[in-house]
Amino acid sequence: MTAAPSPSPSPSPEVLAAFEAAKGFMPVHEGLALYAAATEAGALGLPLLEVGTYCGRSTVLLANAARSAGVSALTVDHHRGSEEQQPGWEYHDPTVVDPEVGLMDTLPTFRRTLHRAGLEEHVVALVGRSPQVAAVWAGPLGLVFIDGGHTDEHANGDYEGWAPHVAEGGLLVIHDVFPDPADGGQAPYRVYLRALASGAFTEVSVTDSLRVLRRTGAGI
């Protein structure tokens, strides 16, 4: 008789409520898949890193998984907004524009998100552009979650900068992977295909636009 599969780990109702209350675009079911991946990766005893913080919605889940594992969650963002969040674009939110400089600044909202969730001490916020931060990062990571800019330049830059740091057995998670161009931009999908074609990563799970891959070989 085959045993039933173990249920995926889930955040507490309080953490899930903080996730849902935060500004952002990730739906709950994808967030739960991310949380399960972060919980698994946390067992490696290495930091969990995301590229693309915005206002901290997904950071809440990574931080809670990191807290449970006794590791740190790292989040990389320049906090000036990605292409589709600029004025005149679909995902622009005028409430996160700094009135003094006239540019987006999601950092204060992100800090409030973590404070409300009680998770500030478990997160290291790396404020800067992803390739610049990656260039000075040297350590291995248990998980890399790519959810930054959606142009080919930015998506490939995030992959090339951070995927090399995914430890053996660690997880690479890519968001907004849309095989059908009618559903969304194709840059994350092309990065996902690139990761699979490299032979370094093997697919673990698919939850709508969220892909979880495991490092099973060298390189990127």
Positions marked catalytic: 150
Q: Match 């292409």 to its residue by tokens.
A: 83
Give the Cα separation of 55 and 19 in Å (integer). 10
Q: Are 34 and 174 in contact (CB under 8 A)?
A: no
Phi, psi at residue 68, to the nearest 5°?
-65, -35
Report the 10 Å Cβ neighbour count for 176: 25
Cα radius of gyration rounded to whole Å, the chain: 17
End-to-end CA distance of the chain: 40
Q: Are 55 and 117 in contact (CB under 8 A)?
A: no
Output phi, psi for 219, to 5 deg.
90, -170
